[in-house]
Amino acid sequence: MSARDIYHEAVKTALSKDGWQITHYRQIIERVLTKYTEIPYAYGSMKSETVFDRTADRYLLLTIGWHGAKRIHGCLVHVDIIDNKVWIQRDDTEYGIAYELEEAGIPKQHIVLGFQMPEVRPFTEYAVA
């Protein structure tokens, strides 16, 4: 297959309904998480960093640095795209990533609160799975 054919196939996939939707969701997730890297910590020598794995559709927001003599390294937010839905696996933000993703354009029915027990998810306003 020529490079031109590969390119056209990629464009066709990206423009398909699910392909476009997933591409759009990736952009929203990356934009929302990147905003957090601009917020300075009030104490310690810490910062937020993003890790974006577009191939596996895994998106992380990490806190890294030092607080006094203690090393800080942890996951603040973990989001995956699984079966065309946005799964929030971890959310230690104050406001809530789900609200921000929704405000940015991802519908509630496409957001799964993966950190909630499956039995609890039907009582949220978000997708069950």
Which residue has 């978000």 as its token pair?
126
Q: Give, in order, the Cα–Cα distances in Å from 82 to each of 1, 46, 50, 68, 71.
A: 29, 31, 19, 39, 32
What's residue 3's pLDDT? Answer: 65
What's residue 20's pLDDT? Answer: 87
Alpha-carbon distance of 10 to 25, in angstroms, equals 17
What's residue 80's pLDDT? Answer: 98
10 or 23, which is more confident: 23
| pLDDT tens digits, 74-87 | 999 999 999 999 99
62, 74 contact by CB (below 8 A): yes
pLDDT(10) > 60: no
Segment 89-110 mean pLDDT: 96
Residue 13 burial (CB count, 10 A):
13
Domain boundaries, the chain: 3-123
Q: Give the percent of the chain with pLDDT over 90.
A: 81
pTM of the model: 0.83
User: Given 3.40.50.300, 2.130.10.10, 2.102.10.10, 3.30.310.110, which CATH number is that of 3-123?
Assistant: 3.30.310.110
